[in-house]
Amino acid sequence: MELLTSILDHINYIGAAALFVIGLYTVLTHSNLLKRIIGINIMETSIFLFFVSIGYVSQGQSPIIQLSETTAIYVNPVPSALILTGIVVAVSITAYALSLIIKLYKAYDTLDYFEIMEKSQEVSSND
Amino acid sequence: MDDLIVKTITRLIVPFIQLYGIYIVLHGHLSPGGGFSGGAILGASMILFTLSFGLEEAKKKVPHRISMLVETGGILWYIGVGMIGFISVGVLWGNKIAGFDLGEPGRLLSAGMIPLLTLAIGAKVASTMITLFHTVIEEDE
Amino acid sequence: MIRMLPVFNLLVLLATAVLIPVFSKRVFTKIKQISTVAMIFATVSSVISLAYVVQIEGYSIVFGGYTSAIGIELTIDAFSALFAVFISALAFLIIVYSFADITHEIDEDQYGSYYTLVFILLFAMMGMTYTNDLFNMYVFMEILSLTSCAIISIKRKKANYLAALRYLVLNTIGSLSVLMGIALIYMVSGHLNMGQISLIIRDIWQLYPGNIVVALGFILTGLSIKAAVFPLHVWLPDAHSNAPTPSSALLSSIVVKVYVIATIKLLFKVVGADIVTSLQIPPVITIVAALGMIMGSIFAIGQKDIKRMLAYSSVAQIGYIFLGIGLMSEQGLSAALFHVISHGFMKSALFLSAGAIIYYKNRRNIKLFDGLGYQMPVTMIIFSFAALGMVGIPGFSGFMSKFYLLVAILEAGVPFYLGVILVSSYLNAVYYLPIIISAFLKEDKEGVRTMKVEKLPKSMLVPLIIIGVVIVSIGFYPQLIMQFIELAVATLIN
């Protein structure tokens, strides 16, 4: 019972760790290039979840100053601001990776990583 | 895509989406949002326009030269706002120290230099999303 | 005014990067003029700020006039000023080289984009050297990884796309590990500023040791992927060998070193040498570095393409630097920093002369290098200087860095690594010396035996000669650089 309440209290952190491992597994084992990019996005989502749930202060309100109350407990707004930057970085990495995959598909006509490695090996061993 | 229903609905809705994006950019210092999310919404409205009307029409609305100038102007504006603080006091990107008028919290014209920076970020993010989308779609033709 | 010079450095680099597409409009001479002016300003201002820091004192700037606990801080002390001079001087020489070489490598409508990317890369590297804030370092790291992938894939060949995609995926996994480590440190300390964390790290270490261990593990793994330490180096050969020559020189001599500097800052400034030693991390670093020194050289022996061989040799040399870091002493750290600077110059000399050979003769295969010493004497002499320096012949800078490293090993009392360095030097000789021998002592197919200076463009020859002079002068007078390094190490270990 003790274990169950402590798991439910920290469910954010356990979820973030599980998503990180699932994302890493997807990147390392799947052979389709698009699935690898999706795996990177899952890893990034897990880190954003971890970072934002650090800033929670119990019994705090959302961090917008109300002019009527002067003493109130607010949730820490700094992690949310940092994660906005992180989301923009993640979007630009995904955009760049997808445009590289389009070029690779036009050059090799397949999206499978191992077939692309085979085709590039036979071209380079012909030199 | 060449569907009549999609074109009509897009023509009706795009102004409202852009108004919402401008609202989020302008109120960046009062409510959640700011430059990044407002710029993304503005970019998304132009992506909707490109998808339903085709690449040629979208390039007439936002040609390549204009988005390049907006990007350059955004960064130079950001550096310029920082230099205002440096020239008057000696501190880069100073808000209250450099003499910006802070106003009362909660009104639209307040918080010194933060709305100026938010405008630059919003314009730059919107033009980046449009440029990225046009470049990726162009390869496909 | 002199105190604000580093910030102006950064702003000028960023403004140049943004102004190049507006002013150039496919006129290459305008791009050359703007880039030269910007790089001269960057180099001169870094030298002036290094002179200021050495004579007077180190200082820090906080943006916006806030205190350092809530603002973004830049520290300018001997360590960051020295490496800013190194980055800007070497990048200036490589950019001048690239004015002539880039016409053979990429299409004409992409010249402006290439120089924009190079200037954003320089902005990110200078920012990462100066910054004192953890999340700021992460943002600069991401900018650096995106632009370094972009200057590989700007050449429109199939192999480049695959190499750039692999580099991007592995680099992103590294950055995400570093961000997870930063989140774990922020969770228990509440500060993102490196100075503030180092003040309270003792109390955190008593209360929450688990967080510090896991955070250090994540951060070191992430930075090791990016710095190409031995088992995690698999992206390096494809990426550095397929890129255009100025890109591979920039990547292999400067970009990889900036991640090593970030590791040094994190291990010594934030956490402190005694906590790291009590966690038993240094033996792991030294063993992995020793493995890298041997395996990198073994992989390089069997290569036929010259750029691929130089890329594998980088893996071995990064092993030397991490061995110096893992000894956790003043002499070890000084030896590692000296090797960072001397390897940067030697590796860029090697890549630039290989690029000159490809430009002039269009040959990449090692077996076709017979008799090249007579047709391209200046290039092959600089190549020989750099290669002999890598092997460790006295008189060149590589010998001095191995000497300092050996003194540090004997001082730390682990003579096993002395044998590892000797074996690795022999292996270096196995693949560098045959090239020099076959270039100068064998005859090529036409039987040409008269030496005449080759007709390379001046903007390619002059940087090569300058780098060659620097290698020889550091080899004979290492005190020129060692005096700054001793000041730099004094700020890290005290």
Written as six digits, the tokens of A73 are 């407990």
Measure in Å the smallest separation between the Cα of B74 and chain C Cα atoms: 10
Closest Cβ–Cβ partner in C161, C169, C186 for A36: C169
HSE, CB side, 13 Å, CA atoms: give it for residue C416. Answer: 9
Asked if the Cβ–Cβ distance from B79 to C11 is below 8 Å, we say yes
Structure confidence by residue, pLDDT tens digits, C218-236: 999 999 999 999 888 999 9
What would the mean pLDDT of C426-452 be, rounded to a whole number?
Answer: 80
DSSP states along C267-310: IIIII-HHHHHHTTHHHHHHHHHHHHHHHHHHHHHT--BHHHHH
> What is the helix, strand, coil percentage profile of chain A, to 5?
70, 5, 25
**Mean pLDDT along residues C4-28:** 86
Q: Which residues pair with C73 in a beta bridge?
A: C62
The fold adopted by the segment(s) A2-56+73-126 is Helix Hairpins (1.10.287)
**For residue B92, is pLDDT > 50?**
yes
User: By CB neighbour count within 10 A (0-12 exposed, 13-18 middle, 19+ buried), where does B10 fall?
Assistant: middle
Q: Which of B57, B17, B60, B61 is nearest to B41 (CA)?
A: B17
Contact B94 C64 (CB under 8 A): yes
Shortest CA distance from C145: residue in chain A = A93
Find the helix or strand (DSSP H, E) in which C60 lies. strand C59-62
* C240 assigned to some structural domain: no
Confidence at residue A127, expressed as pLDDT on a 0 to 100 scale: 44
Q: Which of residues 50-79 of A touch B (CB under 8 A)?
A: 64-65, 67
DSSP state of B114: H
pLDDT classification of B141: cutoffs 50, 70, 90: low
Q: What is the pLDDT of residue C302?
A: 84
Look at residues B35, B15, B29, B13 and name the one whose alpha carbon lies nearest to residue B105: B29
Residues 25-64 of B with CB under 8 A from C: none
Q: Which amino acid is at C215?
A: A
Work out how many domains chain B is built from and give that number.
Answer: 1
CA dist., res. C300 & res. C252, Å (int):
15
Residue C133 gets which letter from DSSP? Answer: B
C35-44 pLDDT, tens digit per residue, is: 899 999 999 9
User: Does residue C297 lie in a domain region?
Assistant: yes
pLDDT digits (tens, 9 = 90+) for C362-409: 877 887 887 788 888 888 889 999 999 999 888 888 898 999 999 999
Smallest Cβ–Cβ distance between B136 and the set A85, A87, A102 belongs to A102
End-to-end CA distance of chain C: 30
Mean pLDDT of B68-94: 88
**Nearest alpha carbon to residue C470 among C349, C338, C317:** C349
pLDDT in tens, C131-164: 999 999 999 999 999 999 999 998 888 888 999 9
pLDDT in tens, A19-67: 999 999 999 999 899 999 999 999 999 999 999 999 888 888 877 777 7
Structure tokens at A38: 């999706």
- Name the CA dihedral angle for C165, C166, C170, C175, rounded to a multiple of 10 degrees: -20
Which residue on chain C is closest to B95 by alpha carbon?
C64
Local structure of C233: helix, strand or coil: coil
DSSP A112: B
Give the range of the structural domain holding residue B28, as residue numbers without chain letter. Answer: 4-140
Q: How far apart are CA A23 and CA A18, in angstroms?
A: 9
Is there a contact between C281 and C407 (Cβ–Cβ < 8 Å)? no
Q: Give the span between the Cα atoms of B36 and B46, in whole angstroms.
A: 16
Give yes or no for C294 touching A (CB within 8 A): no
DSSP state of C258: H
CB contact under 8 A, C150 and A51: no
Tell me the β-bridge partners of C133: C193
Please state the pTM of the whole predicted model. 0.93
Residues C169 and A36 sit within 8 Å (Cβ to Cβ): yes
Chain B partners within 8 Å of A86 (Cβ): none
Q: How many whole angstroms separate alpha carbon C466 and alpha carbon C459?
A: 11
Q: How far apart are CA C1 and CA B134, in angstroms?
A: 44
Reply yes or no on whether the pLDDT at A126 is more than 60: no
**How many residues appear in chain A?**
127
C189 domain residue, yes or no: no
Angle among Cα C130, C132, C138 to the nearest 5 degrees reads 90
Contact C471, C386 (CB under 8 A): yes
Q: Please give the helix or strand (H or E) that residue B131 lies within, else none.
A: helix B114-140
Is B102 part of the contact surface with chain C (CB cutoff 8 Å)? no
What ipTM, to 2 d.p.? 0.93
What is the pLDDT of chain C when averaged over all its residues? 89
Taking contacts as CB-CB distances below 8 angstroms, the residues of chain C near A93 are 142, 146, 168, 172
- A77-84 long-range contacts, CB within 8 A, separation 24+: A79/A51, A79/A52, A79/A54, A79/A55, A79/C186, A80/A52, A80/A55, A82/A51, A82/C135, A83/A48, A83/A51, A83/A52, A84/B34, A84/B36, A84/B37
Chains linked to A by 3 or more Cβ pairs within 8 Å: B, C
Please tell me the distance in Å from A105's CA to the nearest CA on chain B: 11
Q: Count the alpha carbons within 13 Å of A51 in the hemisphere toward its beta carbon.
A: 27
A119, A41 contact by CB (below 8 A): no
Contact C63 B92 (CB under 8 A): yes
Domain residue limits, chain A:
2-56+73-126
Decide if C1 touches B, using CB distance below 8 A. Answer: no
CB < 8 Å & 24+ apart, contacts of B105-111? B105/A65, B105/A67, B106/A65, B106/A67, B106/B30, B108/B26, B108/B27, B108/B30, B110/B29, B111/B29
Neighbours of chain C (3+ CB pairs under 8 A): A, B
DSSP C70-119: TS-EEEESHHHHHHHHHHHHHHHHHHHHHHHHGGGTS-GGGHHHHHHHHH
Q: Residue C210 has what pLDDT? A: 86
Interface contact C18-B75, CB threshold 8 A: yes
Instruction: Please indicate if any CB of chain B lies within 8 Å of the CB of A99.
Output: yes
